[in-house]
Amino acid sequence: MTRLTPSLPTTQNSAWISETIPHMGAAFSLKTTQKLDEIQSPFQNIAIYATEHWGNLMVIDDAFMLTSLENFVYHEMLSHPALFTHPTPKDVVIIGGGDCGTLSEVLKHPGVENVTQIDIDEQVTRMAEKWFPELCARNADPRAELRFDDGIKFMREAADASADIIIVDSTDPIGPGEGLFGAAFIADCYRVLRTGGIMVSQSESPFYHMDVLQNVHRAMLHAGFADRRALLFPQPVYPGGSITCTLARKDANLNSFRTDDALNKTFPTRYYNAGTHQGALTPPEFVREALSII
């Protein structure tokens, strides 16, 4: 569990704040210039800071969530590898993702017909609309439906074979995000996916939370997914400076994707391309070894 610890202010209006990771004896700090906003929702505390070099920072329950500077890496890698792997993604479900950055990336794909996003906390979206409007610019897209509800309940009640892609854009596995890493939820995702369907889930840092990554893969294996890949990519404000998302395909392997479409994509990205996709499919040896024992 992480904890935000304000340090001594460097001036009257600026201070370093740190997210500490006690079990690793580590911390990551950003220099802020002011606190812009804060709200206690029924589910969690959400705070927004202005930083000296990273733009705005969102903090939820003392954990750094995103900054203006580098959130594009996470949002692109959580969406485009799955969408360019599926042959014809039309119906997409996003569980979590209240900042709407992943939603924005999914909606860049012209073949997508419907995107349903379910986040339990409406205040995350309202704060994003206010302080990260660039992430919410596509919220009015007629293909998008934003629901503020329990994603676990939504998936439990969803019809069999009703989605092509399910993206789990969750916070850490504590508080409202805990159940999104559970075996029952992942089994429901498997059931809801159509033939050829793909699930992708935020699966934490292998340097700091290898047990979480292993548990996600174990639950996916037990649910029946035919293939699983942990995609490792940089994320400077997250513990360890990197994070994984895990791709799982219902009934086929993940060795190939629509390379030509990725090479000739009709929209801009800042991190994702066909080369980063291909490279991410081969994890580092320590990750491969840790997952091979499952």
Report the distance separating Cα 36 and Cα 17, nearest Å. 14
Pick from 178, 251, 243: which is nearest to 220 by CA? Answer: 251
- Choose the catalytic residue: 169, 172, 211, 260: 169
> Which is it for the CA torsion 55, 56, 59, 60, positive or negative?
negative
CA 38/CA 150 separation, integer angstroms: 23
DSSP bridge pairs for 17: 6, 30
- List all residues 6 or more positions away from 149 whose beta carbon is below 8 Å from its beta carbon: 118, 120
Question: Is 260 an active-site residue?
Answer: no
The span from the CA of 112 to the CA of 90, in Å, is 4
| Residues with active-site annotation | 169
